[in-house]
Amino acid sequence: MTRNLLAAFVIFLAVSCLVRAQEGMWLPFMLHENIEDMREKGFMLGADDVYHTERPSLKDAVIRIGGCTGVVVSEEGLVLTNHHCAYRAIQSHSTVESDYLGDGFWAMSREEELPNPGLTATLLVRMEDVTERVLSHLNDDMTDDERRRVIRRVSGEIEGEAVEGTRYRASVDSYYYGNEFYLSVYDVFEDVRLVGAPPSSIGKFGGDEDNWMWPRHTGDFTFFRIYAGEDNEPASHDPGNKPYNPPVHATVASESPKEGDFTMVYGFPGSTNQYLTSHAVRIIKEIRNPHNIELRTRRLEAMESAMRESRKVTIQYAAKQSGVSNAWKRWQGENRGLARLDAVERKLELEREFIEWVSDSPERQSRYGDLMTRFEELYSEMEYLTMPYDYMREGLLAVEILGFAGQFADLADMYRPDLEEEMLERIRERIEASKESFFRDYHEPIDRDIFTEMIYMYRENVDTAFHPGFFREIEIDFDGDIEAYTTYVFNNSVFTCEEELSYMTDNISGKINETIAVDPLYRIFSDAREVYAAVLPRYMEINTELNGLYRFYVEGLREMKESELFYPDANRTLRVSYGNVRGYYPRDAVFYSHYTTLGGVIEKNASGAEDYETPAKLIQLYEEGDFYPYSTDGKVRVCFIASNHTTGGNSGSPVFNAYGELIGLNFDRVWEGTMSDIMFDPDQCRNISVDMSYVKFITDRFAGAGYLLDELTIAE
């Protein structure tokens, strides 16, 4: 069958099967169970082409890079991932004079490629089912603590055996809440260099306005390169290292995807919670998300106000603001989706079915009969602790300067007037290193505003039983005036002033605790830590017991619905999700097409909104209209959506077509589908990817770095 006939057959299958989204993030070595469903959706390869340990397969081109995913696209270790995944790396190399965030960065030779200390590229070597070995050491009479200790011990033994005599690293991970265990063996490369990144006006086009939204026009991509030492093996950064030569690299598709085309996302998704009970979903929907949204709203307002006034502050806070905004907007979409799906009631329906199934058998009653009652008891207690827990993490401890002061907690506990000079010198070096790192990207007015707002909100919303000790000082010494208290704290703390901190460092003595322990910011941190330490143990105990209950609940669900395939929740291990290119209806009478074009960039730019600012050169390229060979029907495709199940960590994941060719890089989900971490909706859940046609167009025509495209293997 010719390729054109194959393509026509794929389209026929897609239409005739009324293509729907495929829920699930599947372990790649399990794809033999899914391969028929994948083929019904148009897949033309076999399961062994996706994952194999004895010959090259697509898995060998997929890497974990930072907290994201990437894909190797050349035989010289060239890697593609998202611009937002590279944001901190780009920022770390940026200054006002060399603003790589604002202007972009393109290395025009290997010598210009920039090292990134601490950034690694991790490749999966193999996975192995070790469930039987782990479970053979466990029994239901064990306490949760005993069970965890045994799992850690046995897992450590398995990991050690797996990598003995090799350079590899290993991890045994739990799946289905501890019902199954799989070993993953990894190869980790430590020399990863920045090669090319578009300006943020392309790589982050749309900013917060478009984050989690569709239609999208974001060129969210960045090039890195993996370097290796002798024998093509991992090595720490060294000028003598050579580009890594992978066993396989992704072939890039020559055309943009069409409606109905098969898509496969291959990456390292972070975490999902598909099996939560109704109790948990209600707490998320009615308590956690609304309060955390409001906390982050206040933080974002403080950041954005200062960023509008200064380019320096914009550079300092670009990554911070993006990080705060990301979850803030996602939680809003998640709550909307959970409400639209009536998620709590749907969970209750499943639980009622489960209870009825359990009641039909004395054996099931013995094993599962008390589950729902205990879930109710534990979540009721957790609800009470949720407010102080979240307001501490998302509120007080989100104040940057408090976290900085907290870095010196162990020094504050130190009192030895006879400390040797060698120890004092190490303390000096540590303080200097922390100070330099912190103040490089710190703007005090922002933190003052956030500090004030977080204390206001904590006081208003958290039970007084969980108010830190300094609240009493505010009431007594400052007559409840939080703004006056803020002024006092920031004006009298050594931690807000680099010069005073340097003076303390230069004059350090064995009585360092006397300097730190009385500092107002440190005392606030200490008081907050005391409350957090009172809440956290019980909060974690509840979570531990809940995980134990979920182990039985998921076990029971799989037994109750034994004919169904259950995918394990994401846990940062390599997964495959698959579906099809497909538009959707976000609301009544509104339909979104599956792709966007460069023309949409120009239209948004015409609105004058700051998030839609477009480089003059890109506008010029559009007006000239010379898009070949990167166009489809005379237009450059920018982004597309498909029905793959994705989550955080999937950012940068390669999106492959039916032939295993790279068609895009996953970077987001549509806002209407952000509840997919908890409940998947095939009609609304869509992943967003940047089209490889746009990647090539920007790299060549805009950046003038077409030499990078010469490294790629382009499908004919």
Which of the residues are catalytic?
Answer: 84, 220, 651
Query: How many C-beta atoms surround the C-beta of residue 706 within 10 A?
Result: 11
For residue 586, give every residue at least 6 positions away whose Cβ sits within 8 Å of its Cβ, in sequence order, or none. 214, 592, 670, 672, 684
| Separation between Cα atoms, residue 31 and residue 464, nearest integer Å | 53
Report which of 204, 140, 150, 202 is spatially closest to residue 174, judged by C-alpha positions. Answer: 150
Give counts: helices (H), strands (E), the chain. Answer: 27, 22
Contact criterion met (CB below 8 Å) for 45 and 23: no
Instruction: Provide the H-helix boundaries in 561-691.
Output: 598-605, 616-624
Contact criterion met (CB below 8 Å) for 537 and 545: no
DSSP codes, 604-632: HHTT--GGG---HHHHHHHHHT--TTS-B
| Separation between Cα atoms, residue 456 and residue 529, nearest integer Å | 18
Q: Is the peptide bond before 215 cis (omega within 30 degrees of 0)?
A: yes
| Separation between Cα atoms, residue 89 and residue 646, nearest integer Å | 24
For residue 13, give every residue at least 6 positions away whose Cβ sits within 8 Å of its Cβ, in sequence order, or none. 40, 41, 42
Q: Which residue type sits at 269?
A: P
Contact criterion met (CB below 8 Å) for 568 and 179: no
Q: Please, which residues bridge with residue 72 across strands?
A: 79
